[in-house]
Amino acid sequence: MKIAIIGGGAAGLMVASTLVEEKVNAEIYLFEKNDVLGKKVAISGGGRCNVTTGITDKKELLSKYIRGSKFLIPALSAFSPKDVMDWFQSHQVPLKIEQDLRVFPKSDIGEDVVNLFYKILRTSQRVQLHTSETVKAVSSFDNKFTIVTNKKEYDFDLVVITSGGNAYKHTGSTGDGYDFAKACGHTITNLGPSLNSFEIKEEWVKRLSGLSFPDAKLIFILDKDKKKEVQGPLLCTHFGISGPVVFALSAHLAFSTISKLSPKKIKLNPLAIEHFDSYDKKVMALISNNSAKQILNTLSELLPKSFVEELLIMANIPKDKKSAEVSKSERNRICNLLSPGIELALISRRKGDEFVTAGGVELAEVNNKTMQSKLNPNLYLAGEVLDIDGLTGGFNLQSAWATGRLAGINIAKMVRYN
Ligand SMILES: Cc1cc2nc3c(=O)[nH]c(=O)nc-3n(C[C@H](O)[C@H](O)[C@H](O)COP(=O)(O)OP(=O)(O)OC[C@H]3O[C@@H](n4cnc5c(N)ncnc54)[C@H](O)[C@@H]3O)c2cc1C
């Protein structure tokens, strides 16, 4: 039997390694267009590779996937974050769980993760690594496949598409897998960017470039007047907003129209304090304790000073006003800005900086217990090419490992029984 794996990223490397570990009696070709394997894996997590998450609660884990969570249940049960950790550690890649539950190699070197796969695959007689070989076309006839690359034409009995999405294109993931899946009869859903920053209209945010709010809340309306909130660290930049809470926002807005002509309005609550009254109580207490101080300095005990300066401009209150002289209506203006939040207008996504692609191969056409195509029994799919995407925190690699593992295990079973 001849098996082709198209794409040597997270999912493809896991499929190939699983086939090796399961001692599958087949010739395995791994095609990777780059001259190295796992280019995106190596740079992920800022070069440290956030391999998975320390979250163990299944419901919480599934809530981190914006699309595909239900589909992922069997894969995440069969190869959970804990299993992923055990797997890497049993292969001499020691890991650590950080305070926010992100899991990294102890070395903080993403390359260590990729090198493990090189070790597994290079020591196998069964795997042929075809790096620097780009698959140009896949066609299928009578459940057999022909693959044309930039070097040669091949015939295969079984194909696994693990070519990733189309985010961070310079890493090789240029969306080719969608064309291959389509050529095999699959439907591709709408595609959109996810886990990206936003350019915004408000100049005051840009003036605060470099300032971060460790626990901000963003409130927005999703389709059909559905109010949604996301919470976490936010970073002001020279173009707008970024950081984990903004990436979470972008995941929800992956398919929303956002432009200068059609800006998306959101609200920023900088301390994620729910109610106007709670802010008011805090502000009142601060004022009564610091009555002789300028209001700028008083409020700077609650919020970053540079932000308070902008807040006071928005509230039309002189920053050097004595705290004791701030009127009730002025206090109301401040608290009304903070809760529910200050309105911001998103005017565009930061082009090309999204981490993942939302959308992909239609999940209804893939068996989630095996990763086998429902349209062709000799075709498997795994990783970001599927209509699955998660938030930041190790969830996207986790789904790539888990779907890759499940595909590998089931291909091994299939080959054994044939
Ligand atoms: C900057 C950045 C940081 C990230 N950090 C994290 C993180 O820390 N944790 C996390 O969980 N997720 C992270 N992600 C997301 C995560 O890296 C991806 O979701 C994951 O790598 C997807 O795995 P995959 O195998 O499906 O696709 P990829 O890893 O993208 O692999 C696909 C492979 O297929 C190859 N390929 C494509 N087309 C062809 C072709 N025609 N012929 C041959 N080869 C082809 C590509 O070159 C590529 O190597 C990050 C993403 C980015 C861009």
Ordered by start, the domain boundaries in the chain are 2-192+354-417, 195-272+342-349, 279-338
Query: How far is Cα 189 from Cα 357, in angstroms, rounded to an integer?
Result: 11
pLDDT for the residue numbered 224:
74
The CA distances from residue 319 to 287, 331, 334, 347, in Å, are 14, 13, 12, 30
Q: Is the CB of 384 under 6 A from ligand 1?
A: yes
Nearest CA to ligand 1 atom 5: 44
Ligand 1 center to residue 173 CA distance, Å?
A: 6
pLDDT value at position 222?
87
pLDDT of residue 171: 96
Closest approach atom of ligand 1 to CA 354 = 53
Is-cis flag, bond preceding 340, omega within 30? yes
Would you state the pLDDT for residue 339?
87
**CA 339/CA 335 separation, integer angstroms:** 6
**Which residues in the chain show pLDDT less than 50?**
none
43 lines ligand 1 (CB under 6 A): yes
Pick the CATH number of 279-338 from 1.10.8.100, 1.10.10.10, 1.10.260.40, 1.10.357.10: 1.10.8.100
Yes or no: domain 195-272+342-349 corresponds to CATH 3.30.1380 = no
Counts for the chain of helices (H) and strands (E), in that order: 14, 23
Tokens of 271: 């301390």
Residues 248, 393 contacting (CB under 8 angstroms): no
d(C-alpha 59, C-alpha 63), whole Å: 6
pLDDT value at residue 24:
95
Cα–Cα distance for residue pair 45/388, rounded to 1 Å: 19
* pLDDT for position 373: 98
DSSP one-letter string for 177-218: HHHHHHHTT--B---EEES--EEES-HHHHHTTT-EEEEEEE
**Are 195-272+342-349 and 279-338 equal in CATH topology?**
no
Can you tell me the distance from the alpha carbon of 175 to that of 179, in angstroms, rounded to the nearest whole number? 7
Q: Give residue-wise pLDDT tens across range 71-86.
A: 999 999 999 999 999 9
In whole angstroms, give the CA distance from residue 83 to residue 91: 12
pLDDT digit string (tens) for 21-32?
Answer: 999 999 999 999
d(CA 403, CA 68): 12
Q: Is the CB of 40 under 6 A from ligand 1?
A: yes
Class of domain 2-192+354-417: alpha beta
Return the pLDDT at 110: 97
Q: Which of 396, 399, 403, 406 to mutate to test the pocket of ligand 1 (most atoms within 8 A of CB)?
A: 396
For residue range 304-355, list pLDDT tens digits in order.
999 999 999 999 999 999 999 999 999 999 999 998 899 999 999 998 889 9
